[in-house]
A and B are shown apart, each in its own frame.
Chain A
Amino acid sequence: MEEKKRMPFKGTKEQEQQLMEVIESYKGTDGAVIPVLHAAQDIYGYLPIEVQTMIAEGLNVPLAEIYGIVTFYTQFSINPKGQYKIGVCLGTACYVKGSGDILEKIKELLGIDVGECTPDGKFSLDATRCIGACGLAPVMTINDDVYGRLTVDDVADIFSKY
């Protein structure tokens, strides 16, 4: 597999400060790793190896274990996300109403695959599990906006708004 160029880590001192406070507040709590990872992802937007290392040291848990947890759960991402995070629901209700075709169309339009980000950092694409808006199937989300009852032809129009 060809190796992708990794975006350099651009964490700030403030972010590190925030993370340290979170780690401090969870010290001594049973099962702290996952809540800390959630918080860290909120702070940094993703979980690069630098952040994982800080958490490993802060919680005194082996880095290998942290990495194992991060890669196990789909919510955690070791790649940065775009400014606009696109999620296409691939829950069953959306799938039977054609969300697979919508995903294909988006891939074609943006030239990226699921889990990737456009080179300009604008859009990233994820195939999500059921978001529970089955009444609107098929559904796509862009950050906090929800677009429902989509057809393949709607996609380009929606993107032009961003």
Chain B
Amino acid sequence: MYRGHVLCCGGTGCTSSGSEAIINEMEAQLKANGLENEIKVIKTGCFGLCALGPIMVVYPEGAFYSRVKVEDVKEIVEEHLLKGRIVTRLLYQETVEDDGIKSLNEVDFYKKQHRVALRNCGVIDPENIDEYIEADGYKALGKVLTEMTREEVIDEVTKSGLRGRGGGGFPTGLKWKFAYNAKGDKKFVACNADEGDPGAFMDRSILEGDPHSVIEAMAIAAYAVGADQGYIYIRAEYPIAVKRLEIAIGQARAYGLLGKNIFGTDFSFDLELRLGAGAFVCGEETALMTSIEGKRGEPRPRPPFPANQGLWAKPTLLNNVETYANITQIINNGAEWFSSIGTEKSKGTKVFALGGKINNTGLVEIPMGTTLREIIEEIGGGIPDGKKFKAAQTGGPSGGCIPAALMDTPIDYDSLIQIGSMMGSGGLIVMDEDNCMVDIAKFFLEFTVDESCGKCAPCRIGTKRLLEILTKITDGKGTMEDIDRLEELAYTIKNSSLCGLGQTAPNPVLSTLRYFRDEYIAHVKDKTCPAGVCKALSRYVINREKCKGCSLCSRQCPVGAISGKIKEPFVIDSDKCIKCGACMEACKFGAIYKK
């Protein structure tokens, strides 16, 4: 028995900010103080508050230390663990109260969250199967194998109302039913962990923090549809997740939870990992399967759907990581429990990776129907530096931008589609007044042009043309006809591309055109970039109030574009200016700014 536990985050975010060294130091310090048999150090998965990493939580007090440095560890051990005095200076300030510390559930960041898929992340040691089993792990698999028929399992999932968390939102139960009904001597289940949406890291965090929940759910799915072999297709860019999955699969095999005759029944199931190699299109289901088969990951037309002809032309059930992570909870707590969370058509919770211009960058899991305002202002803690919110981007390169006017839209699959975005896999990037929306559309198009596999013409050529028009506009050479052409081309690509990548690639353009058309027009007509991002359109201006008329800037200007009388405000001739920025750097009064 230990009298205390130190939980330290070993997710990618905290590892990147140095948590590994902190864990080592903690273990060394505990030893030095003879506490190694009293206090246990556990390396957990993600706590969600990545902005405050590295994170360390000490129990039983529940003291939440944030941005811990190696030098701080000694103090935590000597003060807190040895003498029982919490080091207030290092606490996450939100948790500090006059007479002690607040429980995490009362902190703004966690208060509105409801952790279903992330239930074990930051709670258990993901490299230890016993901790997972203690947290009711593999109970659902046992129940399914010994008490439920295959049909009952599918029924339960269907009744829960769970929809695919990878972005499309297809009813999961129905998908399982299709694979169940498909005829074939061999069937597969597969897990899509090729999280390609730039700025999204939900699936990675689940795999890093709770790998067994996915393995268990895949076994349940395999039992339900009649498969005996599974594949997890995961990005090679996620080394920590890959390692933890390998450990977890090994442990599950050793415990007989994978392999032959699981729980003494005649059900057998085993899993293999397949690493992706950096291709966004492989998140599309048919492309993913082609890639597992060891080929170029190009999509193919559907039908036939994977449920009938998937991996090696055999019936295959493919779900995303977060979808699987919900399954055991549905089996353990029942479909009614699950469907009591969320909105009428979108049940349960959704995990979002909050990023960009927001104070609490990190991972949040909220009930469906929570509004964007609640996520950004309450959970996310608002925009840094007192800037103004401009838009939130969901769905990554397939999604769209949501403007401030629609911040009160409840988030679910259907409402997001209605406002021209989509749920996507769960990336939620916040942008403020300093971000140019035309530039953002261009950023996403650069991404899709790069990632288009080239198989079908609308996507291969169309996205390239879209990008060219956008570049023309941000270069200040656009015309009003270009905006119309942009729109027309976007719809053509949407309607005629082969796979989901192409069909959704124009969404960033269409949604910014819909809500931020004025910014496009400013680029085209006024030749200005309101946010001051697009270099070709930015202008250097002297603030008349601040300028002391010292003439330093005019002496720095290499092209003689600045003129004026000494002790009177100077002016920049923007026709001559080459935008080198030398004047702004030289000015001692901060009187020159970019517009």
Contact = CB atoms under 8 A, between A and B. Distances in A.
A130 B453 CA distance: 19
Given A30-B312, A128-B237, A135-B361, A73 B277 contact: yes
Given A96-B429, A137-B355, A132 B277 contact: no
Interface stretch (A4-12, A31-39, A154-162): A31-39
Given A72-B453, A95-B443, A134 B277 contact: no
B277 A38 contact: yes
Nearest to B202: A132
A72 B52 CA distance: 37
Given A34-B277, A148-B16, A134 B294 contact: no
Contacts, number: 133
Contacts of A93: 198-199, 353, 355-356, 361, 429
B296 A68 contact: yes
A40 to B, nearest CB: 12
Interface in A109-156: 128-137, 139, 146, 148
B198 A130 contact: yes
Nearest to B13: A135
Given A92-B429, A146-B16, A74 B279 contact: yes
A46 interface: no
Given A73-B277, A75-B278, A92-B355, A139 B429 contact: no
Interface in B40-77: 49-53
B252 to A, nearest CB: 21
Interface string B6-31: 00000011011100000000000000
Given A38-B236, A96-B440, A135 B275 contact: no
Contacts of B52: 135
Contacts of A37: 277
A67 B278 CA distance: 16
B204 interface: yes
Nearest to A137: B355
B237 A73 contact: no
A44 interface: no
| Residue among B237, B277, B453 facing the most chain A CB atoms (10 A cut-off) | B277
B51 A72 contact: no
Nearest to B50: A135
B166 interface: no
A38 B294 CA distance: 12
B151 interface: no
B95 interface: no
Interface in B355-408: 355-357, 361-362, 393, 396
Contact of A134 (B199, B236, B279, B292): B199
A99 B277 CA distance: 23
B356 A31 contact: no
Contacts of B275: 34-35, 38
Contact of B201 (A65, A132, A139): A132
Contacts of B12: 131-133
Interface of B: 12-13, 15-17, 49-53, 196-201, 204, 236-238, 274-280, 291-297, 312, 353, 355-357, 361-362, 393, 396, 427, 429-431, 435, 440, 443-444, 453
Given A31-B294, A129-B237, 8 more contacts: A31-B274, A34-B274, A73-B297, A74-B278, A93-B429, A134-B361, A135-B362, A137-B356
